[in-house]
Structure 1
Amino acid sequence: MGGAPGRAAKGVIVWKAVDAWARVRGDLPDADLARIAAATTVTGGRPVVAPVKGFEALVDNPYRSRVVRNARFDAADLGEGASLGDGLVYLSGAICGGLEDRLYEADARPAGKVNGKPAVVSGAFGGNGVLAWEPALGVVAIVGYSGAPMDDDAVAALRRIAERSRLLDVGQWKATRPLARQGTNDFS
């Protein structure tokens, strides 16, 4: 951008912005990504995007969430053993841009809708695959599994599980008495 070192490829622009690297990634046309990138600066180590005509910034979330909450189940206990095998199913949600960034990077593909919201499937996070969608503004939810191969039956099963899931607020989550572990939120 503006003569700075960097690279551009389909769906992503990366450039040197002062003393940090900046990246804009998405499924927009390349010209729109370039307009957003041109409006992006780095201040105090954080990206700042000036208004871009035709776009509206709706949330300002961190790249990686400080807290990741997930629940794990046996596929059979959810009634999906026939489609997902005898593996593990996990549901997770986070408020961060990094999950969406990883999905774009991994070439996620459309997978219908979950409760009226567009969903994608991907192998981005290991296991056999994940179904991801945005149940609320800025929140990325994922249903993933390991077990049977990723096929149309598995995607349909993940969508059925997703349709039955719901977001919990902090109080509801704590009421489940979850096991808390310290760890590094590194989904790369």
Structure 2
Amino acid sequence: MATTLEAIKSLVQAGRGSEVREVLDSAARAAKGDYDHIRSQTEYTEEARREMAARAYDTRRKGVDEKLGTMAGQAGYSDRDDVARAFGTAGLPGDAASLAISMRDARDRVGQINKRDELLDLVRRSTRNGDEVLARAAAGRAMELEYSDVLRAFLDTRPALDPVVERIWKAQKADFNSFDWTLQLSALKPPRL
């Protein structure tokens, strides 16, 4: 199972950082209410209230971890699906095994290309020749190298893939600062725990 920070990172990369913040903000408000209630129970000793707060924290944190893990699992599936649709063989007609072998060979071929012009030429030629597997492999390499003009040439003849590639591009560009997220997670902790 992924750690909470790994789950947050995958969600941020999937463009769902604002949803993560909502989950954490809501949990922090609820945790503060729990801790205020525990602090107001003066019939218990300080040590007993600390133990109650620790249990409340553990319960709240497990709930947040599970929720974010579930969300990340769903986001990860969507990302894999998008990549398979845009740069893999998903949706292509033909024998799945043959397509997989063709894609592996095409990726090996384009994996050596680092020049924008070569990739652009390959996308155009493979599109013109009807070699969709090679075109997708070249576009996938362009995504890795962040060559937006090559991706645009690929998408010009495949407008249905435009929103899919845009989601992948945004996920790849998403900024993740683990310190900021760790700080936000710390808001779940009770005072002096």
TM-score w.r.t. the length of structure 2 is 0.25
Q: Quick check: which one's strand share is greater?
A: 1
Larger Rg: 2
Greater RCO, CA 8 A, separation 6+: 2
Q: Return the TM-score normalized by structure 1.
A: 0.26
Normalized per residue, the structure richer in helix is: 2
